[in-house]
Amino acid sequence: MTRSNPPRRVAVTGASLLTPVGNSLTSAWAALVAGQSGVGPITKFDPTGHKTAIAGELKDFNPENYLNKKATKRFDLFIQYSVVAAKMALSDSGLNPDAELTEKMGCIMGCGLGGLSTIETNHEVLLKRGPDRISPFFIPMMIGNMGPGQVAIELGLKGPNFLVTTACSAATHAIGWAFQLIRDQGYPAMLTGGAEAVITPLAIAGFNALNALSTRNHDPAGASRPFDKDRDGFVISEGAGLMVLEEWEHAVTRGAEIYAEVAGFGASCDAYHMTAPPENGQGAVLAMRAALDDAAATDLSLADIGYINAHGTSTGLNDLIETRAIKAVFGRQAEKLAISSTKSMTGHLLGAAGGVEGVITALTLKKGLIPPTINLDTPDPECDLDYVPKVARRANLTAAMSNSFGFGGTNGCLIFKAHSC
């Protein structure tokens, strides 16, 4: 690894949120600190026959201000979310890439499943009407890297461009590698984060077959209840969360507003099971420790972490094992940490979750306000840390962590540092 000396620093200078609790940074943040749930009955298709009939859908998503009619038709929903969120984040950053910058600025995104609804539609055409009726847009609408690909086409970004498909840790890994490309290889800026749009019959059926989804259909707003004794699975949701990362001097020179500094990134694998974490949470522990080691270059230590935006999916296993892993990493400091799962409100955006939660973590540092874990009525006795139940909390934070863990045992952890520090 070629590190500069002293190491380059990386700033978050722009952000966007497209989530079930709001389609803009402002509206989503307001809902999150007010403890509002974005979960409701599935309207994208008729869920009759499925065990789960609830999801976190975007409300009133209207791409018209960002995409022309033809592009809207030719983009799978996850691509629409990618491009709209990218334009919103770039606009928020105030960065206006000139010809020199666009040759270096890249887009690295995470997505778990890509254009699944496009696959479902075209497979039905194949079976009913034969191979000659498959659209020439099927493949370009479906492949996952067309998310960052279309972002680059729309914005003219000619730097590194790829998609990370590490399930529910995808966007965290994307941000981590975008961060390292800037810090370690000298790229000036990156658009990064994640997008996902798979509230489809096949995805719901597939996750239901794994018994992974909440079936609390009578109480959508109470269905995602991380760390609660009565949690019964995650709530699938959709949307995007992107950020503009910028080399520190580049950001300061142009007078950019800085949300936070990206201080460290760690990744690991459980090497254990397809979908379940090991009892001791070793993979999660390794990812958090790797991120802390990585952040040591910015003179940040374990004692500086005051908040963790948990992966906190509301599944029986995740919340228990993540709690154990946090205790293993932080020791006695674990009891002093504020931890929250914003998935209690947004639901689980799968491959986009780390993008949304990375943005939320940066905002938490900037605003000194921690969004709560809602629906935490009866804490699981084995989940006995401070999860900031129900009500947002003011806190003067130095640094914060965002965890993401995915099927395949893949883990990612990002550390953000408050700008004033």
Active site residues: 168, 311, 348
Please say whether the beta carbons of 22 and 30 come within 8 A: yes
Span of 66-74, 112-120, 256-264, 301-309 interacting with another protein by CB under 8 A: 66-74
Per CB under 8 A, does 420 bind another protein? no
- Residues in contact with another protein, counted by CB under 8 A, come to a total of 10
Nearer to another protein, 40 or 140 (CB): 140
Shortest distance, CB of residue 150 to another protein, whole angstroms? 14
Nearer to another protein, 101 or 134 (CB): 134
Span of 6-14, 68-76, 87-95, 310-318 interacting with another protein by CB under 8 A: 68-76
Distance CA 271, CA 410 (A): 8
Q: Given the structure tokens 């606009």, which residue do they identify?
A: 91
Span of 86-94, 134-142, 237-245, 317-325 interacting with another protein by CB under 8 A: 134-142
Shortest distance, CB of residue 232 to another protein, whole angstroms? 44
Shortest distance, CB of residue 72 to another protein, whole angstroms? 8
Per CB under 8 A, does 40 bind another protein? no
Shortest distance, CB of residue 265 to another protein, whole angstroms? 38
Distance CA 191, CA 163 (A): 12
Query: Out of 2, 5, 70, 127, which residue is the one contacting another protein (CB under 8 A)?
Result: 70
Nearer to another protein, 137 or 407 (CB): 137
Please say whether the beta carbons of 247 and 262 come within 8 A: no
Query: Out of 26, 43, 62, 135, which residue is the one contacting another protein (CB under 8 A)?
Result: 135
Distance CA 28, CA 11 (A): 22
Shortest distance, CB of residue 75 to another protein, whole angstroms? 12
Distance CA 398, CA 357 (A): 17
What are 123's two structure tokens? 């497979």
Query: Out of 27, 68, 301, 378, which residue is the one contacting another protein (CB under 8 A)?
Result: 68
Shortest distance, CB of residue 88 to another protein, whole angstroms? 23
Query: Out of 3, 59, 73, 123, which residue is the one contacting another protein (CB under 8 A)?
Result: 73
Nearer to another protein, 138 or 187 (CB): 138
Query: Out of 24, 36, 44, 137, which residue is the one contacting another protein (CB under 8 A)?
Result: 137
Helical pair 146-155 and 77-93, crossing angle rounded to 10 deg: 40
Distance CA 20, CA 58 (A): 4
What are 320's two structure tokens? 């228990």
Query: Out of 1, 60, 65, 69, which residue is the one contacting another protein (CB under 8 A)?
Result: 69
Nearer to another protein, 69 or 218 (CB): 69
Query: Out of 59, 133, 254, 390, which residue is the one contacting another protein (CB under 8 A)?
Result: 133
- Choose among 346, 329, 247: nearest CA to 290: 329
Per CB under 8 A, does 123 bind another protein? no
Span of 23-31, 69-77, 143-151, 196-204 interacting with another protein by CB under 8 A: 69-77
Span of 136-144, 259-267, 320-328, 409-417 interacting with another protein by CB under 8 A: 136-144
Per CB under 8 A, does 222 bind another protein? no
Burial profile 188-218: b = 16 or more Cβ within 10 angstroms, e = fewer: bbbbbbbbbbbbbbebbeebbeeebbbebee
Nearer to another protein, 139 or 296 (CB): 139
Shortest distance, CB of residue 270 to another protein, whole angstroms? 41
Nearer to another protein, 62 or 68 (CB): 68
Q: Given the structure tokens 């129900």, which residue do they identify?
A: 390
Span of 130-138, 185-193, 241-249, 392-400 interacting with another protein by CB under 8 A: 130-138
Per CB under 8 A, does 140 bind another protein? yes
For another protein, the binding residues (CB under 8 A) are 68-70, 73, 132-133, 135-137, 140
